């Protein structure tokens, strides 16, 4: 059975859906497994455990974003070689990508371990939970090198149109994560240590599985010792670092918001953590279709098929908005019931619903900057959407926290900044995409 999808010929709607569905399923399942973590620690952990894990949510997301963003560079590089018919360069690109993943993962691990306590202090972590929060974060960070290896390995498969095997790997490792959580938290009473350790072990399994698949692969995609191509590594870095910084600074801005949430006490922290779980569901759907846009656009741009690049972007926009809305609308309508899956504390449920109705319901707006940003990365313009996201989302939120929020000092005044910044960033990124698309069409002729 053919694993790859031919992105250069034939129907785009069907192929984008076939490619994106496993990535969307992977993302949703990943978040479901993370949600199980939250539910298990919330129901069976000690007092304050949910808040201790939840307060690390954006910090963990920052490392996930760094890993996924850097992997975009490898995706675009290999996709370009496929689109240009330069299959002979793929072998060294795969080797260079995996080596880059390992080195980057170790650097991020070292940085994270050194900054764990200062970072949690910086965001005003309540004293009653800071010990557990630091313990959780320092153990969780051991999973970062494995996360990098999985992301880079998975992106090699996705660049060639195979998004199914990364899904199978993550399904297995995610299920293992849930089982280990139940064992460590419910049976062994290991509390936050158990949740973090389960994540490390499950992520290690996913990384090893992907690397084994690459080693057993045939042809130019087989992982063997090759030549480290400096030009390939340079392209991975040039495209991957802006994408990584976009996600990381995005999370950094949210950490400032989280710092403000923390001032309202453990109930607000726990309620916010529950609501953020649903936000990740919706956002990862959009991110998945953004990855589809990047991969399809990369190949078709390398093959000089600009009209297909435009169609790909439009299709991904439509699919992303509809898919996200199908998640956010029911969750917003039934927010109380959804939140009660994670906690029985009435105050925490109330805090969760407050965030859901001010943030989650508007999340489909993110489509209008994430999809054009994915298309721009596929065209080789990674720094532009990163800079616009930093300005439109990150700086705006940080300024809001120190101005509007300081004046009104309420969760409502804090949460409303999310949809505002999504609109601002969408206008910036979509405007850049339309301008660049027009310029590329003119230059083509």
3-state secondary structure the chain: CCCCCCCCCCCHHHHHHHHHHHHHHHHHHHHHHHHHHHHHHHHHCCCCHHHHHHCCHHHHHHHHHHHHHHHHHHHHHHHHHHHCCCHHHHHHHHHHHHHHHHHHHHHHHHHHHHHHHHHHHHCCCCHHHHHHHHHHHHHHHHHHHHHHHHHHHHHHHHHCCCCHHHHHHHHHHHHHHHHHHHHHHHHCCCHHHHHHHHHHHHHHHHHHHHHHHHHHCCHHHCCCCCCCCHHHHHHHHHHHHHHHHHHHHHHHHHHHHHHHHHCCCHHHHHHHHHHHHHHHHHHHHHHHHHHHHHHHHHHHHHCCCHHHHHHHHHHHHHHHHHHHHHHHHHHHHCHHHHHCCCCCCHHHHHHHHHHHHHCHHHHHHHHHHHHHHHHHHHCCCCHHHHHHHHHHHHHHHHHHHHCHHHHHCCHHHHHCHHHHHHHHHHHHHHHHHHHHHHHHHHHHC
**C-alpha–C-alpha distance, residues 123 and 274, integer Å:** 18
Q: Which region, left, alpha or beta, applies to residue 378 given φ > 0 means left and ψ of -120 to 50 means alpha?
A: alpha
Q: Looking at the domain assignment, is residue 385 inside a domain? A: yes
Q: CB count, 10 Å around CB of 21?
A: 17
362-392 confidence digits (pLDDT tens): 999 999 999 999 999 888 888 888 899 889 9
What pLDDT, on the 0 to 100 scale, is given for residue 3?
Answer: 59
Residue 352 belongs to some domain of the structure: yes
Question: Model confidence at 34, in pLDDT bands (50, 70, 90)?
Answer: low
HSE, CB side, 13 Å, CA atoms: give it for residue 283.
17
The pLDDT, as a whole number, for residue 210 is: 94
User: 219 Cβ partners below 8 Å, 6+ apart?
Assistant: none
Q: Supply the mean pLDDT for the chain.
A: 87
Considering only 318-332, 380-394, 405-419, which range has the smallest mean pLDDT?
380-394
Cβ-contact 56, 137 below 8 angstroms: yes
Which span out of 80-89, 159-168, 277-286, 370-379 was modeled with the highest average pLDDT?
Answer: 370-379
**Mean pLDDT lowest among 131-135, 171-175, 250-254:** 250-254
**pLDDT value at 445 more than 70:** no
Q: Identify the band that residue 354 occupies on the pLDDT scale cut at 50, 70 and 90.
A: very high
Domain count, the chain: 1
Task: Report the C-alpha gap between 267 and 255 in whole angstroms.
Answer: 17
Whether the predicted pLDDT of 141 surpasses 50: yes
Name the one residue in this structure whose structure tokens are 């390939």: 232
The least confident of 222-236, 336-350, 409-423 is: 222-236
Residue 293 lies in a domain: yes
Residue 2 belongs to a domain: no
Question: Any idea which of 37-41, 162-166, 268-272, 365-369 has the lowest mean pLDDT?
Answer: 37-41
Contact 277, 34 (CB under 8 A): yes
- Quickly state the pLDDT bin for 31 (edges 50, 70, 90): low
User: Averaged over 131-153, what is the pLDDT?
Assistant: 92
What's the rounded Cα separation, in Å, for the pair 332 and 314? 27
What range defines the domain where residue 105 resides? 12-444
Structure tokens at 373: 């940003």
Across 438-442, average pLDDT: 67
Return the residue matching tokens 């950094």.
252
pLDDT of 193 above 80: yes
* 33 in a structural domain: yes
Residue-level pLDDT at 258:
77
Q: Per the domain annotation, does 165 fall within a domain?
A: yes
Query: Does the pLDDT of residue 15 top 70, yes or no?
Result: yes
Task: Examine residue 26 and state whether it is found in any structural domain, yes or no.
Answer: yes
**Model confidence at 32, in pLDDT bands (50, 70, 90)?**
low
Question: CA-to-CA distance for 146 and 140, rounded, in angstroms?
Answer: 11
All residues at 6 or more sequence positions from 438 whose CB lies less than 8 Å from its CB, including other chains: none
pLDDT above 80 (res 399)? yes
Question: What pLDDT sits at residue 225?
Answer: 81
Classify residue 163: in a domain, yes or no: yes
Range of 126-130, 136-140, 249-253 with top mean pLDDT? 136-140
pTM: 0.77
The confidence score (pLDDT) of residue 1 equals 40
């Amino acid at each position: 059975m053919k694993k790859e999808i031919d992105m250069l010929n034939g129907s785009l709607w069907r192929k984008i859906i076939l490619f994106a569905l496993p990535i969307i399923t992977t993302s949703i399942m990943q978040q479901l497994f993370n949600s199980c973590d939250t539910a298990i620690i919330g129901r069976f952990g000690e007092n304050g455990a949910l808040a201790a894990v939840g307060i690390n949510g954006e910090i963990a997301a920052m490392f996930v974003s760094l890993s996924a963003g850097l992997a975009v560079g490898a995706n675009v590089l290999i996709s370009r070689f496929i689109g240009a018919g330069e299959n002979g360069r793929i072998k060294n690109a795969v080797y260079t990508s995996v080596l880059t993943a390992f080195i980057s993962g170790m650097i991020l691990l070292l940085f994270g371990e050194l900054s764990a306590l200062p970072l949690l202090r910086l965001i005003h972590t309540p004293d009653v939970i800071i010990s557990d929060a630091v313990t959780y974060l320092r153990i969780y960070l051991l999973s970062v090198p494995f996360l990098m290896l999985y992301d880079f390995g998975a992106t090699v498969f996705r660049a060639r149109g195979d998004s199914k095997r990364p899904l199978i790997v993550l399904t297995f490792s995610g299920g293992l994560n849930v089982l280990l959580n139940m064992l460590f938290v419910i049976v062994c009473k290991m509390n936050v240590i158990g949740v973090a350790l389960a994540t490390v072990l499950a992520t290690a399994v996913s990384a090893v599985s992907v690397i084994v698949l690459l080693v057993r692969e045939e042809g130019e995609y087989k992982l063997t010792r090759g030549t480290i191509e400096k030009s390939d590594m340079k392209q991975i870095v040039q495209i991957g670092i802006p994408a990584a910084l976009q996600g990381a600074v995005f999370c950094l801005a949210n950490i400032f918001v989280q710092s403000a949430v923390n001032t309202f006490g453990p109930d607000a922290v726990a309620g916010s953590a529950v609501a953020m779980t649903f936000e990740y569901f919706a956002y990862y759907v959009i991110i998945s279709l953004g990855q589809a846009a990047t991969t399809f656009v990369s190949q078709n741009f390398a093959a000089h098929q600009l009209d297909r690049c435009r169609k790909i972007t439009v299709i991904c926009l439509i699919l992303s908005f509809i898919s996200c809305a199908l998640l956010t609308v029911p969750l917003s309508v039934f927010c109380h019931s959804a939140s009660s899956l994670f906690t029985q504390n009435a105050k925490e449920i109330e805090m969760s619903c407050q965030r859901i109705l001010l943030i989650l319901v508007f999340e489909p707006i993110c489509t209008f900057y994430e999809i054009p940003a994915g298309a721009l990365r596929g065209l080789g313009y990674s720094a532009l959407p990163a800079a616009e996201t930093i300005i439109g989302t990150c700086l705006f939120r940080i300024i809001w926290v120190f101005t509007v929020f300081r004046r009104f000092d309420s969760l409502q005044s804090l949460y409303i900044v999310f949809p505002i910044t999504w609109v601002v960033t969408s206008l910036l990124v979509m405007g850049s995409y339309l301008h660049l698309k027009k310029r590329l069409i003119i230059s083509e002729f």
